[in-house]
Amino acid sequence: MAAIGRYKGWLFVAPWVIGLSAFTVYPFCASIYYSFTDFSVLVKPTYVGAMNYQKIYEDDLFWKVLKNTFLYAGLSIPAGLIISLSLALMMNGVRRGQALYSIIFYLPHLMPPVACAILWMWIFNSEFGLLNNALRPILGLVNMSPPSWLGSSDWALPALVVMAMWGVGQTAFIYLAKLQDVPQDMYEAAEIDGASTLQKIWYVTLPMISPVIFFNIIMAIIGSFQVFTAPFMITEGGPDKSTTFMPHYIWDNAFRFLKMGYACAMSWILFLVILALTALAFRLARDRVYYAGK
């Protein structure tokens, strides 16, 4: 009985093990294999060595897409962090209304990406959109006109970042919840030492919630490199391929151009990039994240 008892656990985790192997591990490994082949839905995989990787190296569009993806992440991760943290700090600083504020900030996060895409596509519309209708009179005072947002290769990507910022409510709420957990004696000690509000935030609050900040940054890195729905629907990767990100390019190569081996090679590079950034974050966090009582 004891022997069976030890392996009871395996029975319970069996579904996960099967699912993991079939739906994650197998595709993951297959992806590596396929990246060294040339295949599509119609053509069986044929080994071509590192040709796909060679082609990626020579593919100008790939480098542009990679740059776009980094740019998007580089804008949305810090912006999201600052906005959600600021909102959380402000909400934490008021006595009443926290529940109501956090609900209002959270609502946009609920919205289906497809509906969001349609809505923001309309808001950013250069002729009739809400944003430009509001900006036009203001900019008209200095003889400028608002940019054509989704139609301009310079502004389309920032527009997508702005759209993503609408959904920071969940992160803000996580910060708020964690802020509530900061023990009061810390603040009292800091006040005794004569700390100003800003100093208290920098030296007490932020370190105390640093695990959550770190967690959110990791999630943001992983998430921002996988953005698909919004650019796919709104800009279709344009204008002039300025909003084509890695997932979209991989999709196109796999299902439109039917170069699945090529797409697998790219998806592997994407994974390695995310892994490298995550490892970098872990390394940087080692000295900065403070796990109180863990």
Partner 1 sequence: MADEDLTAGYGTQAANRSPIMAGALHVILLAACSVFLVPFIWMAVTSLKPIDQTMKETMIPKATLAMLNGKETLVVRKEQLKGESLLVRQGGGQDAGKVKLIPALFKDAPAVVNGMAQMKFTRAGREEYEPELVKVEVLRTCPKGYWLVEEWAPEFSQEREENQNKELAWDCVPESELKEVPHLFWSNYKSALSRMQGNDEGSWYSVGFFRYLLNTLFLCGMTVTGMVVACTMVAYAFAFLEFPGRNVLFGVTLAVMMVPFPATMVPSFDLFRSLGWTGTFKPLWVPAWFGGAFFIFLLRQFFLGLPKDLLDAARIDGCTELEILWHVVVPLARPALAMVALFQFLHCWNDFMGPMLYLNDSRQFTLSLGLQALQSQHGGTPMHLSMAASMMFSLPLVILFMITRKTFMKGIAMTGIKG
Span from 55-63, 73-81, 149-157, 164-172 in contact with partner 1 (CB under 8 A): 164-172
Q: From the list 170, 210, 238, 239, which residue makes contact with partner 1 (rule: CB under 8 A)?
A: 170
Q: From the list 1, 4, 16, 256, which residue makes contact with partner 1 (rule: CB under 8 A)?
A: 16
Interface with partner 1 includes 3 (CB under 8 A)? no
Site residues for partner 1, 183-222, by CB under 8 A, read: 184, 187-188, 191, 211-212, 215-216, 222
* H or E element, residue 46: strand 46-47
Interface with partner 1 includes 229 (CB under 8 A)? yes
Q: How far is the CB of 200 from partner 1 (least distance, A)?
A: 8
For residue 146, give the nearest of 171, 129, 163, 122 by alpha carbon.
Answer: 129
Interface with partner 1 includes 102 (CB under 8 A)? yes
Nearest to partner 1 of 228, 241 (CB atom): 228
Interface with partner 1 includes 110 (CB under 8 A)? yes
Site residues for partner 1, 66-85, by CB under 8 A, read: none
Q: From the list 72, 101, 149, 155, which residue makes contact with partner 1 (rule: CB under 8 A)?
A: 101
**Can the peptide bond before residue 231 be classed as cis, meaning omega within 30 degrees of 0?**
no
Interface with partner 1 includes 128 (CB under 8 A)? yes
Spatial neighbors of 272 by CB under 8 A, at least 6 apart, are none
Interface with partner 1 includes 44 (CB under 8 A)? no
For residue 199, CA distances in Å to 62, 85, 176, 204 come to 45, 16, 19, 8
Nearest to partner 1 of 71, 89 (CB atom): 89
Span from 57-65, 96-104, 143-151, 152-160 in contact with partner 1 (CB under 8 A): 96-104
Q: How far is the CB of 236 from partner 1 (least distance, A)?
A: 9
Instruction: At 92, list the tokens.
Output: 């934490």
Around 55, how many Cα atoms within 13 Å sit in the side-chain half-sphere?
Answer: 17
Q: How far is the CB of 287 from partner 1 (least distance, A)?
A: 20
Query: How far is residue 161's CA from residue 277's CA, in Å, rounded to a whole number?
Result: 20
Interface with partner 1 includes 34 (CB under 8 A)? yes
Interface with partner 1 includes 63 (CB under 8 A)? no
Q: How far is the CB of 163 from partner 1 (least distance, A)?
A: 9
Q: How many helices (H) and strands (E) does the chain have?
A: 16, 2
Cα 78–Cα 84–Cα 85 angle in degrees, nearest 5: 85
CB 281 within 8 A of CB 214: yes
Query: How far is residue 118's CA from residue 230's CA, in Å, rounded to a whole number?
Result: 9
Query: How far is residue 136's CA from residue 143's CA, in Å, rounded to a whole number?
Result: 10
Interface with partner 1 includes 179 (CB under 8 A)? yes
Span from 18-26, 48-56, 59-67, 281-289 in contact with partner 1 (CB under 8 A): 18-26
Q: From the list 70, 118, 244, 252, which residue makes contact with partner 1 (rule: CB under 8 A)?
A: 118
For residue 118, CA distances in Å to 86, 122, 129, 235, 239 come to 28, 6, 12, 11, 17
